[in-house]
């Protein structure tokens, strides 16, 4: 996997996958985008004592970091499972500047990346992480979740991730009143998500993006 470190407009880094020519985040701001989509429009919508989160696309680890910071601050118990089949190398994730931008100890971020894959690891009093190294399209789910962060590469660059069967799997592994949130607002994506049974809504996007997609399971 060939990657290039890039700077985004809010000062935070992202990465560009040179093989598929797609970036991990918007050029308008990696931290700004992740906070707006996954924390403000995902995590904050769930009101439970213990929240089970599934992330599709661990990537740079930014979503996991922001989720841990939120749950530690709010004293909110979270079990966080995240899937990726192309983990970053240490020299790559160590170069990302999220901790400098967020003014936090870098050890918090490094513990997320350095924790063993395939194991549930308690990283704080409130945050439990399990990283799963597998191909999501072949993954069978036996556990239930309250919230799904769908953060694959774009539909045009990674179309196999955005097909009906994948969203059926995600619908089935969500608890009642669960939420799926994704950055894509493409009509085809929304129609596919709706077809599996979700109620689909367009909500305001982060800087540089008019809308994102929120899907709810009744």
Going by C-alpha positions, the residue among 199, 202, 169, 166 that lies closest to residue 183 is 202
User: Which residues sit opposite 50 in a β-bridge?
Assistant: 77
Torsion sign over Cα 176, 48, 84, 116:
negative
Residues 154, 138: Cα–Cα separation, whole Å: 19
In a domain, 173, yes or no: yes
Tell me the residue range of the domain where 209 lies.
29-216
In a domain, 71, yes or no: yes
Q: Give the DSSP letter of residue 162.
A: G
Give the contacts of 75 (CB within 8 A, at least 6 positions apart).
125, 126
Residues 85, 102: Cα–Cα separation, whole Å: 27
**Total number of domains constituting the chain:** 1
In a domain, 14, yes or no: no
In a domain, 19, yes or no: no
Residues 56, 81: Cα–Cα separation, whole Å: 9
Number of residues in the chain: 218
Give the contacts of 44 (CB within 8 A, at least 6 positions apart).
none
Neighbours of 63 (CB within 10 A): 24
pLDDT, averaged in runs of 10, over the chain (218 residues):
96 97 97 98 97 98 98 97 97 98 98 97 98 96 97 97 98 98 97 98 96 97
Residues 210, 191: Cα–Cα separation, whole Å: 18
In a domain, 142, yes or no: yes
Residues 99, 146: Cα–Cα separation, whole Å: 27
In a domain, 190, yes or no: yes
Residues 217, 123: Cα–Cα separation, whole Å: 30
In a domain, 6, yes or no: no
In a domain, 73, yes or no: yes
CATH of the domain at 94: 3.40.50.150
According to the model, what pLDDT value does residue 1 have?
83
Compute the half-sphere exposure of residue 108: CA atoms within 13 Å on the CB side of its CA. 21
């Amino acid at each position: 996997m060939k990657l290039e470190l890039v700077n985004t407009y809010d000062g935070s880094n992202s990465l560009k996958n040179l093989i598929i020519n797609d970036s991990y985040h918007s050029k308008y701001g990696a931290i700004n985008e992740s906070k707006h989509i996954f924390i403000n429009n995902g995590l904050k919508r769930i009101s439970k004592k213990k929240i089970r989160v599934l992330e599709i696309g661990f990537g740079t680890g930014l979503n996991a970091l922001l989720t841990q910071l939120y749950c530690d601050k709010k004293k909110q118990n979270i079990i966080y499972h995240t899937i990726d089949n192309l983990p970053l190398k240490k020299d790559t994730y160590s170069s990302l500047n999220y901790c400098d931008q967020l003014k936090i100890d870098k050890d918090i971020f490094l513990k997320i990346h350095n924790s063993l894959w395939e194991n549930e690891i308690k990283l704080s009093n409130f945050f439990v992480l399990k990283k799963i190294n597998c191909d999501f399209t072949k993954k069978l789910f036996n556990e239930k979740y309250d919230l799904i962060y769908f953060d694959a590469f774009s539909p045009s660059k990674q179309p196999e991730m955005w097909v009906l069967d994948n969203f059926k799997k995600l619908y089935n592994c969500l608890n009642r009143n669960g939420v799926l949130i994704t950055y894509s607002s493409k009509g085809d994506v929304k129609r596919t998500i709706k077809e599996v049974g979700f109620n689909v809504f367009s909500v305001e996007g982060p800087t540089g993006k008019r809308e994102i997609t929120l899907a709810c399971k009744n």
